[in-house]
Amino acid sequence: MPFENLNLNPLILKALEESGYTEPTPIQEQAIPELIAGHDLMASAQTGTGKTAAFMLPALNKLNDAPKTNSKGPRILVLTPTRELAQQVSAAATKYGKYMRNARVVTILGGMPYPVQNKLLSRHVDILVATPGRLIDHIERGRIDFSRLDMLILDEADRMLDMGFIDDVERIAQATPASRQTVLFSATLDGAIGKLGASMMREPKLIRIAAQTARHEHIEQRLHYVDDMHHKNRLLDHMLRDINLKQAIVFTATKRDADLLADDLLAKGYDAAALHGDMSQRERMRTIARLRQGGIRVLVATDVAARGIDVAGITHVINFDLPKFAEDYVHRIGRTGRAGASGVAISFVSGRDSLHVKRIERFTGQAIAAHVIEGLEPKFKPRPPAAKRNFHGKGEYRSPQRRSSGGGYARDRGR
């Protein structure tokens, strides 16, 4: 189905054509008509599915309608859990709205100077993209007029809850007009997210794209057993020498390890840099800009800092340390294989991680094949081969009866 069938403004269609988009992704095809029809919406779609355009295109479309009042305040408000994601959402809004005259985008993030933000907010705003904490500060100081707000969008709502923003999100929603349209995107729609949605929406439409997106079919997932740190470092060195690896994100468990590993790689001659939450906003932005321009080949990052990074050149994601939660695994590997490209996701796994790997496989519904590099074989002899386990067909996992409580799987999902 072409974008032309979705009743979008021709100026938006022109920008899409320029972006090289030929047809909507499944989440766009389903969400855009519901949002244009004015419904509230709860959608489960992960990063890499085109979810940003799924809410941003109808939001921009809405700006064609006459505003409710003549105030200068935002008509669209997007809340995101992290600064990086906010910047990407803003960039998408600017890209898709570039031919519209009334699509002024303002981004309000923590870690940036107040005077600059005060100035931005004192002028006319159409689309406001913000992280919750800093936005609350401005609301409390009376700097934002929500009287003409048409649409409130919560992007990666599950992560906002995980990061403790629930009260802030609820307070922000209360500060906006009850007549608004409300949209929530989240990796999962269960539990607390369902409750949050129900508390702030009117008969929301539900869209779940999870099955297809969680599969990450264009990302090849590999697992390498490692004996110890020395073995890990040698394997990493081997991976980074691969000429097919254009750019990689290497994930570590801690900020300190990210710094240490980035220094180590630099010393070995790789164009490496670290990215984590202890760096200032300015440093983080500079690092991501260098990554995007190709000045960094290996980015060593922690989970939160790397969330939302959308750089087309990333061919490999390497889990130097496995993430704590299965959901983060999905977010990590989604940094590669962007915009339809293929990608490789490699995980280093020690003997102690076996149970954790199983949890990840259950969560994604996919088996991760173990690989061995000649000359770098592990001494550790892992689990039985895949055929003996509960997998069938092309690496698919047939879920056992889900436990209602207890086990790691349930815990990961409900987090």
- Summarize as ranges the residues that interact with ligand AMP (CB under 6 A): 21, 24-25, 28, 47-53, 310, 338-339
Nearer to ligand AMP, 266 or 311 (CB): 311
Q: How far is the CB of 24 from ligand AMP (least distance, A)?
A: 5
CA distances from 27 to 37, 41, 312, 385 (A): 16, 12, 20, 36
Nearest to 81 by CA among 106, 54, 110: 110
Tokens of 376: 């770098």
| Terminal Cα-to-Cα distance of the chain (whole angstroms) | 36
Q: How far is the CB of 313 from ligand AMP (least distance, A)?
A: 11
Q: How far is the CB of 307 from ligand AMP (least distance, A)?
A: 11
Nearer to ligand AMP, 143 or 338 (CB): 338
Angle at Cα 141 formed by Cα 139 and Cα 142, nearest 5°?
65
Q: Which conformational region is residue 191 in: left (phi greater than 0), alpha (psi within -120 to 50 degrees), or beta?
A: left
Report d(CA 117, CA 144) in Å as an integer.
Answer: 11
Q: How far is the CB of 150 from ligand AMP (least distance, A)?
A: 21
Nearer to ligand AMP, 53 or 149 (CB): 53
Q: How far is the CB of 23 from ligand AMP (least distance, A)?
A: 6
Nearer to ligand AMP, 204 or 308 (CB): 308
**Around Cβ 178, how many Cβ atoms within 10 Å?**
9
Give the largest CA-CA distance in the chain. 70
Q: How far is the CB of 341 from ligand AMP (least distance, A)?
A: 9
Report d(CA 300, CA 291) in Å as an integer.
Answer: 11
Q: How far is the CB of 408 from ligand AMP (least distance, A)?
A: 27
Nearer to ligand AMP, 307 or 413 (CB): 307
Report d(CA 326, CA 158) in Å as an integer.
Answer: 14
Nearer to ligand AMP, 47 or 252 (CB): 47
Report d(CA 66, CA 345) in Å as an integer.
Answer: 47
Q: How far is the CB of 55 from ligand AMP (least distance, A)?
A: 9
Nearer to ligand AMP, 48 or 73 (CB): 48
- The half-sphere exposure of 369 on its side-chain side, counting CA atoms within 13 A, is 9
Nearer to ligand AMP, 28 or 87 (CB): 28
Nearest to 109 by CA among 93, 125, 95, 128: 128
